Amino acid sequence: MKPTIFSSLPRPLWVYALLLLLGVPLFFFQIFEKHSGGGDDYALYLTEARNIAQGIPFYKTHYIFNESNISYSPPQYPPGYPLLIAPIIGKLGLNIQAICYFNSALCLLLLLCFYTYFRRFTGTIYAVFLSLLITYGGEMIYMKQFALADLPALLCCMGYILVRRNDIFSIPHILLAAFLAGYAILIRTQSVLIVGAEIVYWVGQVIYALIQRLNIVNKVLHVPVIISVGAFTVYLFFSKLIFPVPHTADGFYI
């Protein structure tokens, strides 16, 4: 019987129910009706999300990019995070409290991801406490109050790490890993390091195969290539076809 994404979850499964219960307080910390801060980050993300909800180009935020002061803000932020909160903005308007609850849900999912990851290397009790320690740590709780892309980017990266298994090479695993990596890049461009890691891994495996005089035409060696190409395909599909812009922010990020 081939392993699936769900069959690879660590046992016992009742621990996930316990973690869901322990994650309930997340919906009571750092919940605000008004934004706790200001700045270009929040304004651009929220405005882009409102544009997506209204069916107009997401980059038309009326923000004037100052090419003489490129350290302040890019022409636009990637559309990955605005796309996630667009349903909230479209239904409830610029509702900061709803975004705080959305961030709480992301933290709850991250709590489950942390446990799944740590459980591979430790016992159940250690994995539970490590996951709770990170999730309820100061930085995670602090980030819950902001309309920023950090939490969803982290969730995509954690999902990629969990799905990307060297012992599982099923098509659903590979495609899901590619999608999560690609969408992580669409949320925060520095997530392209995932593709860089896949390429480095692939080169290392090819060199190893050549040294060992093995047949390099092997599905193990092709997985990083498929994930890398798939991730860029996801990113390009959204950024070039769904959310094209007249000028990109690549220069700012470089």
Q: What is the distance between the alpha carbons of residues 237 and 139, in angstroms, rounded to a whole number?
A: 33
Phi/psi for 95 (5° steps) reads -95, 100
The three-class DSSP label of residue 75 is: coil
Report residue 70 as tokens: 């490129």
* 189-192 contact pairs (CB < 8 A, 24+): 189/78, 189/253, 190/253, 191/153, 191/156, 191/157
Asked whether 205 and 224 are in contact (CB, 8 A), the reply is: yes
Report residue 157 as tokens: 């990266």
Q: What is the distance between the alpha carbons of residues 103 and 152, in angstroms, rounded to a whole number?
A: 8
Q: What is the distance between the alpha carbons of residues 249 and 241, in angstroms, rounded to a whole number?
A: 16
- Planar angle of CA 242, 170, 183, nearest 5 degrees: 25
pLDDT value at position 213? 66
Asked whether 234 and 178 are in contact (CB, 8 A), the reply is: yes
**For each of the chain's 254 residues, which pLDDT tens digit applies?**
455 555 566 767 889 999 999 999 999 988 887 776 656 688 889 999 999 999 999 988 888 888 777 777 788 899 999 999 999 999 999 888 999 999 999 999 999 999 999 998 999 999 999 999 999 988 888 888 888 999 999 999 999 999 987 667 788 888 999 999 999 999 998 899 999 998 988 888 777 777 676 555 565 667 788 888 889 888 888 888 888 887 666 666 55
pLDDT value at position 219? 58
Q: What is the distance between the alpha carbons of residues 249 and 181, in angstroms, rounded to a whole number?
A: 20
Q: Which of 188, 174, 185 is nearest to 227 (CA)?
A: 174
pLDDT value at position 215? 56
Q: What is the distance between the alpha carbons of residues 121 and 104, in angstroms, rounded to a whole number?
A: 27
Report residue 178 as tokens: 């590619």
The HSE-up count of residue 197 (CA atoms within 13 Å, CB side) is 12
pTM of the complete model? 0.82
